[in-house]
Structure 1
């Protein structure tokens, strides 16, 4: 799981958790596929205007819950806050190690629960437990559960995100019009990946619906594909459960993906020791790439089906100021200053705090409120920043990657 969220002045702060360590439990569950009477009811909606994770309407122990559907998570995990709220104040004690962006962190053995999802009933699901406070803050919405591959992998996952929906489906999909790639598991069966040609080179890429970036590559994969040789680059901070990591980012205008050609896919070179390296893969594909496809991941059949989406792909928002920040205590605290950006050129530093932002237009100062859209202002926009130390700074937005 790796969440890219525009909670920042730039839309490129990432918050991530990854696969679980070898001593994680292997839950024993009963998963029953329950097709709805109306096939249209099997689809869950997706906001195609932004590259966010998948969410399903669900009930946990009969209570409505916000469930994030995340193929980058091995074992289904509950929020510690949800457990405490509905278990008479009991708290799970962290006993497991979790591999995550920026390092490792702790998880706990969670309760055994009954789970009802669109098209699935899950009986006696052993869960893990982790602190989701950072995830909830990044997404500005509740997250009670991260549904992992121990449930998702029982069948198929159909993604038609460009059309604004997705669904769970049974295995055995027949789609002769679609191109296919092998969909396999790592030897420990903790992570799924596809084997596909990228720019003329066959790569093993994890499929992570909790990662709302486009494509992340190891340094070696980035080198052989040449994607970073012909595109301007910057840096991006990944704030994970294990800490902060910095990766290199480019947005290639065109990219060969299997038999398809995709456009404007945000592409990263992982930070040292990133999730692809931890998972012993060449990279990860995320939501921003999957949005350009109509795809089916049939896990039991080891097949990835895909066609280019029939919907027009919208180019992702690009940062034009270069400040990644989080809104906290009435101010923006700078997490990272992106390389080659206006902010970097002016010597801005992480840790500094911005108390107010205004747009300067025709000699008028227009307050920007508490939203973060100023970070993706149109090139040429002049911005005035009131720092929390009382100083005033000015920057002009421009394209820099």
Structure 2
């Protein structure tokens, strides 16, 4: 998988409107007695999110594990197919703006060791683009389903499980963790340069690494970091941000090195919801992670990729899969593609003579956009024109 196919983010913060899920029945959640053995396998989407299977009222469904969502969000498509009654009239804050939401009652939601009886789910349109995949998912599993328990995410083994709060299944570095009172999402804090940034949303649904506000970046006073531009995709649209790699940052007891940081524009999503930024799965996947807000701690055990320089684009093209072609979503500032005149919206049907297939995201072909500097890549546009691009480091 190429990290640069698309990096997605999807965050919903539920408001206190009449149709808000906050005013609806919560249901009763229990864990099985053998919770330690109830691992849930997941796969990373091209957008770097954790996709897995579960059941909603006995119907199989696909889901994204998203601790940056206040209330779990069901797709309108699934609700219609299941003939669920949806109450409407609310809205929520998401990356890119506001989205309309509804609410539907459910009898049972189950995955791994968890069963929730009763309660319900927020309902919204969940586009495939928000997961960086050709296929949309049915549910964003949010804070309301997981906060009472310890969430153990084993990225190396592509699995997670829910345990009773207070369990310590492994040792690592401790960082503070809680659920914010206002937005009802997982939050922690980060020390970046000269700045202590808090609250930082701990967001497994955000495929990027670390995201901070423009004010937070200015307060950090980090010099000498080369930057470019990138895009994030949320439920409400697209946002362009600045991106660079910082030498180090601290998160509680942990000092992390070679960390990719995005800087949102002034007035961006984090600023809108009075947050200092987000800690996404692009960062968390370098560790085994325990999220236990009831015990007020996050445990991070470094994996094999911790502190290694992150994969970075050498082409300057961010592309998304559109069936049998790649669509240029963003041309990064200062990169080879910008200098060669590429523009967003162009489509690529072949790379070095190989056509784009449905399994492109998992194929070796997908690594071209972040391959070694100096490589010459032949890209055939879908209008038949062929271009050449010489890869290089530019940030």
Relative to the length of structure 2, the TM-score reads: 0.86
Specify the alignment match of 1:362 in structure 2.
none
CA distance in 2, matches of 1:72, 1:17: 5
Task: Note closer, same or farther for the CA distance 1:36–1:11 as it changes in structure 2 (3 Å cut).
Answer: farther
Q: Is 1:212 matched up with 2:199?
A: no
What secondary structure, in the 3-state scheme, does the structure 2 residue paired with 1:83 have? helix
CA distance in 2, matches of 1:393, 1:310: 39
Specify the alignment match of 1:231 in structure 2.
225
Give aligned pairs, total. Answer: 383
Structure 1: 5+ residue stretches without partners: 359-365
CA distance in 2, matches of 1:183, 1:173: 15
Of the three residues 101, 105, 114, the one matched with 1:107 is: 101
The Cα of 1:123 is off from its aligned counterpart by 0.9
Contact 2:7–2:48 under 8 Å retained in 1: no
Structure 1 residue ranges (4+ consecutive) displaced by more than 6 angstroms after TM superposition: 48-51
Relative to the length of structure 1, the TM-score reads: 0.85
The Cα of 1:36 is off from its aligned counterpart by 4.5
Contact 1:56–1:117 under 8 Å retained in 2: no
Of the three residues 269, 277, 284, the one matched with 1:275 is: 269
Contact 1:31–1:154 under 8 Å retained in 2: no
Q: Is 1:386 matched up with 2:373?
A: no
Task: Note closer, same or farther for the CA distance 1:312–1:331 as it changes in structure 2 (3 Å cut).
Answer: closer
Task: Note closer, same or farther for the CA distance 1:230–1:49 as it changes in structure 2 (3 Å cut).
Answer: farther
Contact 1:178–1:305 under 8 Å retained in 2: no
Q: Is 1:83 matched up with 2:76?
A: no
Contact 2:5–2:320 under 8 Å retained in 1: no
Can you list the C-alpha shifts for 1:166-211, whole angstroms capped at 9, x where unaligned?
2211122358965433323334242231134344532211100101
CA distance in 2, matches of 1:319, 1:165: 28
Of the three residues 298, 301, 310, the one matched with 2:292 is: 298
CA distance in 2, matches of 1:220, 1:146: 30
Quote the RMSD (CA, aligned, Å): 2.9
Of the three residues 304, 312, 317, the one matched with 1:311 is: 304
The Cα of 1:262 is off from its aligned counterpart by 1.7
What secondary structure, in the 3-state scheme, does the structure 2 residue paired with 1:16 have? coil
Of the three residues 29, 47, 60, the one matched with 1:64 is: 60
The Cα of 1:300 is off from its aligned counterpart by 2.2
Task: Note closer, same or farther for the CA distance 1:277–1:137 as it changes in structure 2 (3 Å cut).
Answer: closer
What secondary structure, in the 3-state scheme, does the structure 1 residue paired with 2:5 have? coil
What secondary structure, in the 3-state scheme, does the structure 2 residue paired with 1:59 have? strand
CA distance in 1, matches of 2:215, 2:185: 20
Of the three residues 8, 18, 39, the one matched with 1:43 is: 39
Structure 2: 5+ residue stretches without partners: 361-365
The Cα of 1:351 is off from its aligned counterpart by 2.3
CA distance in 1, matches of 2:130, 2:269: 21
What secondary structure, in the 3-state scheme, does the structure 2 residue paired with 1:317 have? coil
